[in-house]
Chains A and B, each alone.
Chain A
């Protein structure tokens, strides 16, 4: 369970990025965090992961996100970065996937078994020993997701998981996201993907929660979306 209680944050005093944001995500929920550029989506993610600290309270399974709890918190959360190149820093997919399990004190055998299981589940076994700089963008995105799943996190956070992917790879990533059993929090401008993968949507605007409700309702509300510099998902737009 993820809970934001009146969280505010600003990089500069005069320009707050988040203003008293509150929401609660139950275990197993798939939530899309949407909003125009600068609405504060990435800041929400960074606050959640303890990469930034603001005012108010953020709780993960009842544990407050603060310096002394970061190890415990980060063990529960897996974060897929927008730019997979920034996530994959080891020479091969295998070594990258081993990185987190080894840091969490698994033996090499246990870690390898976990890596193999994740690769098999995602159908990526042939990528195991491939070099990160030799795989395509789509493969890299899937490998980045695999590195996170190898941590066996309780919740998966994703920042623009389908950006810069071709339609085929986008569909592969969407199907993978749908198959994940963990709690999911996904930020994206790809509203079609959000509609496909999330049950609930939180709309951020001007640093506040402008709407929070079922994806089917919010993503069909043309007036609401347009009022916050967004558009209906393409699949819901009727051709003129």
Chain B
């Protein structure tokens, strides 16, 4: 299996994770979606030096991992490419913000380091929350929820088709990469001189395949309207989940739990 085929396989695994059964999987997709949005907004709203206040928000994804039965390592494995990028966002902060913010024994920690760590943690938390939403909710249910929330039909259809068509492009890339390496033994990656034609061919082939897929949809009565899988009804349990989780996030946003706990031990 080459890298592309692995990627394709991983994409399929997301569908399988979402099809599992657990109390989190059973929840209404809209409740999970809104809860995730509130969580992300809460995480993002923390000030840049509020590293310790942000840490208790880790409890939420940890709890969801436990209840949903999704292994944490699967999350980090699947996010292995995007995580470093997100974490690199604040990499230059220590160079721009050198003013000491706190003293750890003999070591003075600058504001830049704290804000970098805060940004990194924010990125990780947001990614984990998004992953958990995707891993516990089938894409169809998610799209159906977005439509219920009056997100424009065009945007939702684009999201769904992009999710489906990523696989098509990856498949073509897998075939082309195999064909390239069979005629370029010992070469690592694709040589820069072939990048242009490689990308051009990939685009043409993907367009051909996408066109055939689209034809197949049209021939089966598709008319710009997807019939999403029925969404589980919004029950009192879903309401409790949404209100409870949102209340917890707001509490953690305005009450510094880490400082509160710390103050119990340090005067």
Contacts and interface: CB of A to CB of B under 8 A. Distances in A.
A99 B209 CA distance: 19
Contact of A100 (B16, B140, B220, B225): B220
Interface stretch (B7-15, B54-62, B71-79, B189-197): B7-15
Interface string A152-191: 0000000000000000000000000000000000000000
B227 A103 contact: yes
A86 B140 contact: no
A215 B42 CA distance: 71
Interface in B1-54: 8-9, 12, 15-16, 19
A100 B219 CA distance: 9
B222 to A, nearest CB: 6
Nearest to B14: A91
B20 to A, nearest CB: 12
B164 interface: yes
B219 A89 contact: no
Task: Say which size band chain A's interface belongs to.
Answer: 20 to 34
Q: Chain B CB within 10 Å — which of A49, A71, A90, A102 has the most?
A: A102
B12 A134 contact: yes
B221 interface: yes
B171 interface: yes
A108 interface: yes
Given A81-B212, A87-B216, A133 B8 contact: yes
Interface string A46-71: 00010100000000000000000001
A92 B221 CA distance: 19
Nearest to A98: B227
Nearest to A84: B216
A75 B216 contact: no
Interface string B211-240: 011011111111101010110000000000
Contacts of A99: 217, 220, 222, 227
B138 interface: yes
Contacts of B138: 91
A75 B229 CA distance: 22
Nearest to A91: B15
B171 A89 contact: no
Contacts of B227: 98-99, 102-103
A11 interface: no
Contacts of B16: 131
A74 B217 CA distance: 11
A30 interface: no
A71 B219 CA distance: 9
B220 A147 contact: yes
B9 A133 contact: yes
B137 to A, nearest CB: 13
19 contacts: A49-B215, A51-B215, A51-B219, A71-B221, A74-B218, A74-B220, A75-B221, A77-B219, A79-B216, A86-B212, A89-B164, A91-B19, A91-B139, A100-B220, A100-B221, A103-B223, A131-B12, A131-B15, A147-B220
Given A51-B215, A92-B15, A133-B12, 7 more contacts: A51-B219, A90-B164, A91-B138, A91-B139, A95-B229, A133-B8, A133-B167
Interface of A: 49, 51, 71, 74-75, 77-79, 81, 83, 85-87, 89-92, 95, 98-100, 102-104, 108, 131, 133-134, 147-148, 151
